[in-house]
C-alpha cells in the first residue's frame, strides 16, 4: 500500500507543477513532484487532525486520492498543452566524455547512498528522540495533537525549552503517513526526497547554463561531505535544504528572466521549506526583498503576495499548536540587546563553519573564486548579483536569529557546531548554482562543451 501512496503523491506533485506551467522540463517535474505531493498530504493531515479526523490508513489514502483527483481536474482545461509537453525532444549535441563520466559518478554514488538509506534503520539521535519516533507514534495512535508522548503527565519535559513538540511537523507527519500505510521503516522518505532533488537541481540549473555545467554543479553539490552524509539520515536538515535552496534558485531565475512560473514554483517550494523548519522564513524574507527590488520601478507590488503566502504554514501551525497545547517555554529574546561576547562567538563560529572543508568540501572556496573571477561583470552588468545577495542575506538573517535565542537547553557552541552547520546545507546548492551560472564561468564551460561534444 505504501507504494501506491508514494506513486499517488508523486503524480499529485507532478500534475501540480504542470498546472503551474507545462513549460517546466521533465527533470524539473520529476525532481520536485514527490516533495510537493508530500508537503500537500502532510498539510491536509494536520488540518484533518485539527478538526478531529483520525489519521488512519484509510483516511490518509482517501485524502491522497482526493488531492490527486483535484490536480487531475485542474489540468483538464490545459489537457492538450499538458499532453503536448510530453512529446520527446531528442537532442544529444551536449553529450561529451566529461558529461558521461560525471553522470556515471553521480549515478553510482546515489545508488550507494539510496541503498544505504533504505538498508539501515533510523539510528541518529535527533530522529530517534523526535522525528521518526513522533511519526511512528502518530501512525499508531492516529493523531498528532493527541499523542501520548505529547502528554505532560507521561513526559514532564515535553513542554520544556527546545522541545520537539514545537518543531514544524512536515517530516514527522510524512513518516506517520508512510508508517500508516504499512512501511516497516520511514527511510523511504529521505531516500526519495534526496534522489528527487538531484533530478530537480540538474533540471533547473541547465536552464541557466549548459548541460555540462549543470551536471558539474550537481556533482559538486552532491559530494559536499557533511550534506551527503546527512542525506541518509531521518532528520530534517537535508530535506529542508532541498526545498529551501530549490525555492530560492527558482526565485533567482524569476528575478533574471521574469517568467512568473518560476516565481510560482519557487514560492511553493519556499512554503514547503517553511513547513519543514521555522528558520526557513529567512528565505521568504530574502524573496520579499528581491520582489520588492524588481517591482519598485513599476510600483505594482502584487507579486509580494506570493512570498507572503509562503509563510502561511508557519502561521497555521502556530495557531494549531496553540489551540492544542503543543507549546513549550519560549526561547526567543524579543527585545533589542547588545552582547559582545555572544556576537563574537556567533561570528567566529560562522566564519569557522564556512571556511572548514570537512563539512562542505571546497564549495565556499569555489564560490569565493567564482565571485572574484566574475567581479568585472558583477560591477558593470550586475551579473548574478542577486544570487550573492541571497546567500549573504539569508546567512546573516539566520545567525541574527541565533543571536536572539536564549540557550537554556544547550550551549551556544553546540548549537553553532551542530545546528548551524546543518543550516548551511541550504547554501551549498545555491553556491554551486552561482559557481556555474555566472557569466565568466558559464561562457568558459559553454565553449568547453562545444569543443567536446560528439555531435
For the beta carbon of residue 77, count every other beta carbon within 10 angstroms. 10
For the beta carbon of residue 44, count every other beta carbon within 10 angstroms. 18
How many whole angstroms separate alpha carbon 452 and alpha carbon 455?
Answer: 9
How many whole angstroms separate alpha carbon 333 and alpha carbon 240?
Answer: 25
Name the residue range of residue 397's domain. Answer: 2-82+94-329+337-452
pLDDT value for 337? 82
pLDDT value for 16? 96
Q: 454: pLDDT confidence band, cut at 50, 70 and 90?
A: low
The verdict on residue 365 lying in a domain is yes
Query: What does the pLDDT look like over 141-181, one tens digit per residue?
Result: 999 999 999 987 877 788 887 788 989 999 999 999 999 99
Query: What does the pLDDT look like over 1-25, one tens digit per residue?
Result: 899 999 999 999 999 999 999 999 9
In sequence order, the 6+-apart residues with CB closer than 8 A to the CB of 375 are none
pLDDT value for 88? 66
pLDDT value for 95? 79
Q: Given the C-alpha cell 512568473, which residue does it identify? A: 260
Cell triple for residue 10? 508523486
Closest CA to 409 of 155, 156, 157, 124: 157
Average pLDDT of the segment spanning 227-233? 93
Query: What does the pLDDT look like over 331-365, one tens digit per residue?
Result: 788 788 888 889 999 999 888 888 887 889 999 99
The verdict on residue 87 lying in a domain is no
The verdict on residue 88 lying in a domain is no
The verdict on residue 409 lying in a domain is yes
Query: What does the pLDDT look like over 40-67, one tens digit per residue?
Result: 999 999 999 999 999 999 999 999 999 9
The verdict on residue 417 lying in a domain is yes
Average pLDDT of the segment spanning 270-299? 91
Query: What does the pLDDT look like over 406-417, one tens digit per residue?
Result: 887 777 888 888
The verdict on residue 361 lying in a domain is yes
Structural domains of the chain, count: 1
Q: How far is CA 103 from CA 58, 90, 230, 265, 431, in A?
A: 41, 18, 22, 26, 20
pLDDT surpasses 60 at 455: no
Amino acid at each position: 500500500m505504501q507504494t501506491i501512496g508514494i506513486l499517488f503523491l508523486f503524480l499529485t506533485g507532478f500534475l501540480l507543477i504542470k498546472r503551474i506551467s507545462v513549460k517546466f522540463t521533465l527533470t524539473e517535474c520529476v525532481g520536485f513532484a514527490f516533495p510537493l505531493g508530500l508537503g500537500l498530504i502532510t498539510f491536509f493531515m494536520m488540518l484533518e487532525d485539527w478538526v478531529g479526523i483520525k489519521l488512519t490508513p484509510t483516511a490518509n489514502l482517501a485524502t491522497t486520492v482526493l488531492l490527486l483527483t483535484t490536480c487531475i481536474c485542474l489540468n483538464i482545461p490545459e489537457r492538450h498543452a499538458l499532453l503536448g509537453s510530453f512529446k520527446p525532444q531528442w537532442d544529444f549535441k551536449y553529450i561529451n566524455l566529461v558529461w558521461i563520466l560525471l553522470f556515471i559518478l553521480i549515478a553510482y554514488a546515489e545508488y550507494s547512498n539510496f541503498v544505504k538509506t533504505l538498508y539501515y534503520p533510523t539510528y541518529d539521535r535527533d530522529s530517534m528522540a523526535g522525528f521518526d519516533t513522533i511519526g511512528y507514534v502518530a501512525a499508531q495512535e492516529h493523531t498528532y495533537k493527541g499523542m501520548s508522548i505529547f502528554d505532560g503527565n507521561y513526559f514532564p519535559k515535553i513542554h520544556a525549552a527546545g522541545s520537539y513538540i514545537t518543531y514544524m511537523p512536515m517530516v514527522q507527519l510524512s513518516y506517520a503517513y508512510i508508517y500508516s500505510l504499512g512501511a516497516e521503516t520511514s527511510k523511504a522518505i529521505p531516500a526519495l526526497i534526496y534522489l528527487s532533488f538531484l533530478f530537480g537541481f540538474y533540471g533547473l540549473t541547465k536552464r541557466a547554463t549548459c548541460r555540462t555545467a549543470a551536471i558539474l554543479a550537481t556533482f559538486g553539490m552532491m559530494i559536499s561531505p557533511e550534506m551527503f552524509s546527512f542525506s541518509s539520515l531521518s532528520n530534517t536538515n537535508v530535506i529542508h535544504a532541498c526545498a529551501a535552496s530549490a525555492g530560492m534558485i527558482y526565485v533567482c531565475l524569476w528575478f533574471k528572466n521574469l517568467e512568473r512560473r518560476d516565481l510560482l514554483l519557487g514560492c511553493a517550494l519556499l512554503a514547503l521549506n517553511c513547513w519543514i523548519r521555522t528558520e526557513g522564513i529567512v528565505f521568504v524574507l530574502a524573496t520579499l526583498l528581491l520582489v520588492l527590488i524588481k517591482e519598485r520601478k513599476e510600483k505594482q507590488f502584487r507579486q509580494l503576495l506570493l512570498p507572503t503566502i509562503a509563510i502561511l504554514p508557519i502561521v497555521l501551525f502556530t495557531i494549531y499548536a496553540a489551540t492544542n497545547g503543543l507549546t513549550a517555554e519560549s526561547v526567543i529574546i524579543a527585545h533589542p540587546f547588545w552582547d559582545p561576547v555572544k556576537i563574537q562567538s556567533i561570528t567566529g563560529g560562522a566564519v569557522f563553519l564556512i571556511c572548514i572543508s570537512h563539512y562542505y568540501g571546497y564549495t565556499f572556496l569555489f564560490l569565493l573564486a567564482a565571485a572574484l573571477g566574475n567581479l568585472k561583470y558583477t560591477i558593470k552588468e550586475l551579473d548574478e548579483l542577486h544570487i550573492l545577495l541571497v546567500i549573504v542575506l539569508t546567512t546573516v538573517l539566520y545567525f541574527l536569529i541565533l543571536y536572539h535565542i536564549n540557550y537554556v537547553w544547550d550551549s551556544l557552541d553546540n548549537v553553532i557546531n551542530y545546528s548551524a552547520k546543518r543550516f548551511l546545507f541550504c547554501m551549498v546548492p545555491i553556491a554551486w548554482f552561482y559557481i556555474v551560472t555566472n557569466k565568466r564561468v558559464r561562457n568558459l564551460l559553454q565553449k568547453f562543451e562545444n569543443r567536446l561534444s560528439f555531435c
